[in-house]
Amino acid sequence: MTATTMTPAQLTRFEARLRAERADAQERLAEFDDAMTAVRLARTDATADDEHDPEGPTMTQEWSQRSAVLADVRAELADVDRALARIADGTYGFCANCGKRITVARLDARPTAELCIDCARHVR
């Protein structure tokens, strides 16, 4: 009996957790979209006197920081989506590299883990 790495109850628990993380990430994405729009508008206002604008560099810095965070949230969302897809097709909890089971303890720490602890150590 090697079909599943965990009990249906555990799987349901991970699915609920992943869905909650997904909702949370989407909420943050929406917030960032609003913030990015605000920054964009502020930049547009400043273009008239860009060269002499003391706020210029700060604005650019804030912009790139926000962009980096946004990329992180998008990546997280993609991870969560892949994990949910794996739950749907029954491959959740198995290592994408060697096919062994990923321990529940590891998934508890990182529900989107695609690799077992051994492969995670050796890959990249």
Asked if residue 116 binds Zn ion (CB under 5 A), the reply is yes
The interface with Zn ion within residues 89-108 (CB under 5 A) comprises 95, 97-98
CB 109 to Zn ion: min, Å: 16
Q: Which is nearer to Zn ion, 27 or 108 (CB)?
A: 108
Encoded amino acid at 91, one letter: T
Placement of tokens 């051994």 in the chain: 118
Asked if residue 4 binds Zn ion (CB under 5 A), the reply is no
Q: Please state the φ and ψ torsions of residue 10, each to the nearest 5 degrees.
A: -65, -45
Q: Which is nearer to Zn ion, 80 or 119 (CB)?
A: 119
Considering only residues 25, 87, 113, 119, which one is a binding residue for Zn ion as defined by CB under 5 A?
119
Compute the radius of gyration of the chain from its Cα atoms: 20
Asked if residue 38 binds Zn ion (CB under 5 A), the reply is no
Which residue blocks in the chain are alpha helix, DSSP H?
Answer: 8-46, 56-89, 104-109, 117-122
CB 96 to Zn ion: min, Å: 8
Q: What dihedral angle (degrees, nearest 10) is formed by the CA atoms of 38, 63, 30, 93?
A: 180
Chain residues binding Zn ion by CB under 5 A are 95, 97-98, 116, 119
